[in-house]
Homo-oligomer: A and B are copies of this chain.
């Protein structure tokens, strides 16, 4: 028997999760989908049960585990419902629209006494990031001292603000930096170019490591994520993100994707497989509710403090519960 998974939300990400469960994941099957737009839900279901009420899907006896890919504002409500139902849940980032809501999930899970929540920070499963992580934990590059991140989107709509760049894009950099370094961030500072884009965000961790990130919503040429970690002995960085090189029309080149989907297709697949494997084994993997909460809290504090241009001291009202040790 394979794990019966229900997917809430069938927009771009939800449809992709449903596809992975239908055709690219071992040990699981797509049991149900839910969307307020029933026709969209049916298209993603391809024969699985269709719900228009997320709580009904969560409560359904035919659903053993849940993927949340609905609008951000609903994440906390559905994640809490999964906890109440005792069902493992893979929640798309962010864990919640506010740090306060994220904290509520942490507290509910801590009260439950066992971990059921994974936040979908899929980069932790990206092979390049995994190799970088391993270069540090193996001791190969020595103790980490500095991490350079670059996050570039092709372009953003006019109404896209610097605050949105932090809460939508930079959150990925917060999570992956914490994971790569195994550290907690304690200060942050933002310097913006004219018009607010790009920004350089400089964070420093509890171990003193510096995290320097370019957040660029209108890079103009494509979607491009890069990272280089600097240790006391050397560095490790992502290679050119391509499998082939083309010599054509006076240049040698490779192509950048227009958005994150082609870049992280493999990471999403590996995340889903790892989550299914862990769920079947009664474990969790990936970013925890605590990771999701902290990332949201850091983003929130950076947004609050970024207009000043000064140093932002990051604080968390709750110590890390033992459940997330």
Contact = CB atoms under 8 A, between A and B. Distances in A.
Interface of A: 2, 22-27, 127-128, 131-132, 135, 140-142, 145-146, 148, 189, 191-194, 198, 200, 202, 204, 207-210, 212, 214, 216, 218-222, 224, 230-240, 242-256, 258, 273, 277, 309-311
10 contacts: A26-B26, A141-B246, A142-B220, A146-B216, A148-B214, A189-B189, A200-B202, A221-B248, A236-B245, A239-B242
Residues of A contacting B: mostly: mixed
A237 B248 contact: no
Contact of A135 (B2, B194, B246): B246
Say how many copies of this protein the assembly contains: 4
Contact of A244 (B237, B242, B258, B310): B237
A255 B134 CA distance: 14
A208 B310 CA distance: 17
Contacts of A219: 230, 234-235, 247
**8 closest Cβ pairs, A-B complex:** A234-B248, A253-B253, A194-B208, A128-B243, A251-B253, A221-B234, A235-B247, A145-B193
B239 A132 contact: no
Given A23-B26, A193-B146, A220 B233 contact: yes
Given A27-B23, A140-B246, A258-B250, A232 B214 contact: no
Contacts of A142: 220
Contact of A222 (B26, B192, B250): B250
B252 A256 contact: yes
A261 to B, nearest CB: 15
A300 B79 CA distance: 54
A193 B209 contact: yes
A55 B210 CA distance: 48
Contacts of A253: 251-254
Nearest to A204: B191
Contacts of A26: 22-26
Contact of A220 (B191, B198, B234): B234
Given A131-B243, A234-B221, A200 B216 contact: no
Contacts of A231: 220
Contacts of A194: 145, 207-208
A192 B202 CA distance: 11
Contacts of A208: 193-194
A84 to B, nearest CB: 30
Contacts of A251: 221-222, 251, 253-256
Contact of A239 (B23, B127, B209, B254): B254
A215 to B, nearest CB: 11
A81 to B, nearest CB: 28
A123 to B, nearest CB: 13
